Amino acid sequence: GAAVRLVGVSKRYADHQPPAVDDVHLEIGAGEFMTLLGPSGSGKSTTLNMIAGFERLTAGDIIIDGVRVASLPPYKRDLGMVFQHYALFPHMTVAQNVAFPLEQRNVGRPEARRRVADVLELVGLEHLGDRLPGQISGGQAQRVALARAVVFEPHVLLMDEPLGALDKKMREQLQGEIARMHRELGITFVFVTHDQEEALALSDRIAVFDRGRIAQVDTPRELYARP
Ligand code: ADP
Ligand code: ADP
């Protein structure tokens, strides 16, 4: 079944502007790696933010794991989110940052400690738990953000240009890590990028955005074969 369903989803920020997202229909399968690809301003982030619950819909419905989520705040949706600029708490250590979603959900301390250790190992940062965000590299910070986004075992991970702030070498490394995380966790990934190569390398399917609409949804192979 579908992990995430968008049904006629539209977003209009202002009456005198064209809609940022215009009647989007999309079904994202459980465990699928789906990429929203398109140029700047085509509505990818707005779509992701509506799935996350950061933006209200003007029209349509979003269904996550069979639940209509329109009235649910972000933290009650079964998803983790990673942003371009990490958004780590600067005064908290790496381990405390990763533990934060567990504390919000009242997970007990022994269980929290175990899970934090597990996800730090998943992203290869088990040795940096006591550092502050200001004492690690950008690539490491994005790994911490990834660990924090999956530590409470959501069924869906949303990523908005997670590699966009990194240099080329880091980007290639992180791309490999994200592919490996997808294989190991087996959960649904929804990934936003304007970089076609990134999309082709990572995705099971790609939804191509154009001026607020989805122009096509295809596998990388199908997309690549087209003129
Ligand atoms: P993308 O992620 O593809 O770059 P966005 O979803 O950010 O596209 O933007 C789609 C359109 O919506 C753009 O025209 C953008 O200027 C507009 N937009 C995005 N966020 C806001 C906002 N908070 N207020 C008003 N307009 C916005
Ligand atoms: P406090 O300052 O309240 O004692 P800690 O820094 O000890 O908080 O831990 C905050 C959270 O981070 C806790 O949930 C703890 O389990 C987790 N944590 C801290 N350090 C580690 C670590 N090295 N490995 C795993 N989890 C850790």
The mean predicted confidence, pLDDT, of the chain is 95
Task: From 10, 21, 46, give the residue whose CB has the most ligand 1 atoms within 8 Å, as the site to mutate.
Answer: 46
Ligand 1: residues within 6 Å at CB?
13, 20, 38, 40-46
Task: Summarize the confidence of residues 174-192 as an average pLDDT.
Answer: 96
Say if residues 147 and 120 touch (Cβ distance below 8 Å): yes
Token digits of residue 152: 């409470």
Q: Give just the sign of the alpha carbon dihedral 24, 25, 29, 34.
A: negative
What are the strands of the beta sheet with 188-193, ordered from one edge?
79-82, 156-160, 188-193, 33-37, 205-210, 213-218
Question: How far, in Å, is the centroid of ligand 2 from the Cα of 140?
Answer: 18
Say if residues 104 and 44 touch (Cβ distance below 8 Å): no
Task: From 6, 13, 195, give the residue whose CB has the most ligand 1 atoms within 8 Å, as the site to mutate.
Answer: 13
- Answer whether residue 13 shows pLDDT above 80: yes
Query: What's the confidence (pLDDT) of residue 70?
Result: 87
- Answer whether residue 86 shows pLDDT above 80: no
Task: Summarize the confidence of residues 76-104 as an average pLDDT.
Answer: 94
pLDDT in tens, 34-74: 999 999 999 999 999 999 999 999 999 999 999 999 889 99
Percent of the chain with pLDDT over 70: 99
Say if residues 147 and 136 touch (Cβ distance below 8 Å): no
Task: Summarize the confidence of residues 130-135 as an average pLDDT.
Answer: 97
Write down the pTM of the prediction: 0.93
Query: What's the confidence (pLDDT) of residue 12?
Result: 97
- Answer whether residue 145 shows pLDDT above 90: yes
| DSSP labels, 26-77 | EEEETT-EEEEE--TTSSHHHHHHHHHTSS--SEEEEEETTEE-TTS-GGGS
Say if residues 156 and 4 touch (Cβ distance below 8 Å): yes
- Answer whether residue 15 shows pLDDT above 70: yes
In the DSSP assignment, the letter for residue 127 is G
